[in-house]
Amino acid sequence: MAARYGLRTIALGYLALVLVIPCAMIVQRTFQDGLGPVWDALTDPSFVHALRLTLIAVAIAVPANTIFGVACAMVLVRRRPRGTPLMTAAIGLPLALSPVVVGLSLVLVYGKQGWVGGWFVDHGFPIIFSTPGIVLATIFVTLPFVVREVVPVLREVGIDEDEAAWTLGASKAQTFWRITLPAIRWGVAYGVVLTTARALGEYGAVAVVSGRLAGQTETLTIHVDEQYLRFNEVAAYTTALVLALLAVLTLVCMNVFKPRHKEAPRGDRNPPGDEAL
């Protein structure tokens, strides 16, 4: 008994120290001077711009990586191309690389002096220190999530249901939309949530490629940092709170899409009390 309570205390204490108390402190600090300063922070043009920029990055990176992720998982699991281990490792790279390195590598390729960046700058479409760079960096760091969530699900689901659909006359496209996607939708949903959360919170890579120009290339995370460095504490905390709320919203959205009926347990276990035949 004592051991169990001891363990519980340690677990809850750990959570409180690293998670609950810091988050609560942000809420407390945000509202320490009342609602007035909070409202000012929320209506500040640089905040509004940062919010817009973050949402744009999310709105592009999440669908792009969802489509890429599902397609990539299908190829990896169903076709098993020769370079599968190499491809898997490459997809995991953004998880292992420091975001700062990601940012720098993007500057090297897409910057003014970069491989292809020069061409884009000459044609009036600069990538680095501009919105495309921020979107690109966000896509880079969030690339693995959907693939990594979908691959194991797809492997477990197998191909029987797809083959059954083909023999019943469904084309490959019909089979994908009506059979494969519903079967893997939970993997996709988790992948999308992780991608969104990471895209909202990305700092390092974006900080390098954006140039951190207030009202131009500042995302929410950079805005938090900038305001904090300038001792605009309420603005920093307010922005941090907005980021947290967006993350919570993402989780809530996923719960809304939960299935309305209970799913089959994979395998052949029969429900108890069912007639034999």
Partner 1 sequence: MGIAIRQVTKRFDDFVAIDSVSLAIPTGSLTALLGPSGSGKSTLLRVIAGLEQPDEGDVSIEGEESTALPPQERGVGFVFQHYAAFKHMTVRDNIAFGLSIRRRPRQEIRERVEELLALVQLNGLGERYPSQLSGGQRQRMALARALAVEPRVLLLDEPFGALDARVRKDLRAWLRRLHDDVHVTTVLVTHDQEEAMDVADRIVLMNEGRIEQSGKPRDLYEHPANEFVMSFVGPVNRLGGTWVRPHDLELRLEPNGITREAMVQRVVHLGFEVRVELLLQDGRTASSQVTRDEAEQLELREGQIVFVRPSRTTTFAKA
Give the per-residue contact string, 237-266, with partner 1 (x = CB under 8 A; - = no). ----------------------x-xxxxx-
The rounded distance, in Å, linking the Cα atoms of 206 and 210 is 6
- DSSP 3-state assignment of 245? helix
In the complex with partner 1, the residue whose CB is nearer, 36 or 265, is 265
In the complex with partner 1, the residue whose CB is nearer, 190 or 203, is 190
How many residues sit close enough to partner 1 to count as binding (CB under 8 A)?
29
In the complex with partner 1, the residue whose CB is nearer, 122 or 163, is 163
The total number of residues shown for the chain amounts to 277
The rounded distance, in Å, linking the Cα atoms of 57 and 219 is 9
Only one of the segments 55-63, 84-92, 175-183, 208-216 lies at the binding site for partner 1 (rule: CB under 8 A); that segment is 175-183
Closest distance to partner 1 from the beta carbon of 27 (Å): 40
Return the closest-CA partner of residue 246 out of 59, 67, 81, 121. Answer: 59
165 binds partner 1 (CB under 8 A): yes
81 binds partner 1 (CB under 8 A): no
Give the per-residue contact string, 205-244, with partner 1 (x = CB under 8 A; - = no). ----------------------------------------
Closest distance to partner 1 from the beta carbon of 186 (Å): 11
Return the closest-CA partner of residue 152 out of 69, 261, 252, 251. Answer: 69
The rounded distance, in Å, linking the Cα atoms of 160 and 137 is 38
Can you tell me which of 161, 176, 214, 216 binds partner 1, judged by CB under 8 A? 161
The rounded distance, in Å, linking the Cα atoms of 11 and 170 is 51
The rounded distance, in Å, linking the Cα atoms of 233 and 236 is 5
Closest distance to partner 1 from the beta carbon of 257 (Å): 13
Can you tell me which of 182, 230, 245, 249 binds partner 1, judged by CB under 8 A? 182
The rounded distance, in Å, linking the Cα atoms of 45 and 102 is 29
179 binds partner 1 (CB under 8 A): yes
The rounded distance, in Å, linking the Cα atoms of 143 and 198 is 10
Can you tell me which of 18, 164, 248, 251 binds partner 1, judged by CB under 8 A? 164
Positions 120 through 149 that interact with partner 1 (CB under 8 A)? none
For 83-123, give the secondary structure using H, E and C. CHHHHHHHHHHHHHCCHHHHHHHHHHHHCCCCCCHHHHHHC
Only one of the segments 6-14, 54-62, 159-167, 242-250 lies at the binding site for partner 1 (rule: CB under 8 A); that segment is 159-167
> What residues contact residue 74 under an 8 Å CB cut-off, 6+ apart?
154, 180
186 binds partner 1 (CB under 8 A): no
Interface with partner 1 (CB under 8 A): 160-161, 163-171, 174, 178-179, 182-183, 259, 261-265, 268, 270-271, 274-277
